[in-house]
Structure 1
């Protein structure tokens, strides 16, 4: 595993009412959720980055109000046309 060092102001932790470790974990989850939402990574890879199981990651998606499904309206139309 690779470690990344970030310099953050001390006020960042108190603003979010999190310890530095909790803050770091939440940053991992938030980044993974956003990259998943932008369709840059798969759900499995996002869960791995977040340090969560896939089921826990799906729950995190719900907390961030991000759909676990990566389908566009055009994708759904295409799927429905094939179903006919």
Structure 2
């Protein structure tokens, strides 16, 4: 193994052929869209960081932030309490 090369694992999903034609995607395009959608959702749920989400999605961090915008998900993970605390300490 070359240093710096991540170890990868392949997974297999069995899906009906009709999903690809319904979404007008090839199986490879569908798989990539699933990776991005999963990463966006896990990020939105605060399960993973932006860096990890970008890695899962197979995107750079900048590309992942653009994907967040397409899915209408904020790139900022702040709770209401976080925002209140930030405003109190803004002086």
Could you say which TM-score interval applies, normalised by the shorter chain? over 0.9
Q: Which stretches in structure 1 are left out of the alignment for 5+ residues?
A: none
**Equivalence for 1:16:** 23
Asked if 1:30 is matched to 2:37, the reply is yes
Which has the greater radius of gyration?
Answer: 2
Asked if 1:56 is matched to 2:63, the reply is yes
RMSD: 0.6
Structure 1 residues 20-59: Cα deviation after superposition (integer angstroms, max 9, x where no partner): 0000000000000000000000000000000000000000
**Equivalence for 2:89:** 82
How many residues of Structure 1 are paired with residues of Structure 2 in the alignment? 84
TM-score relative to the length of structure 2: 0.90
Q: Which has the larger share of helix?
A: 1
Q: Which stretches in structure 2 are left out of the alignment for 5+ residues?
A: 1-7
Q: Which runs of structure 1 show a deviation greater than 2 angstroms over 4 or more consecutive aligned residues?
A: none
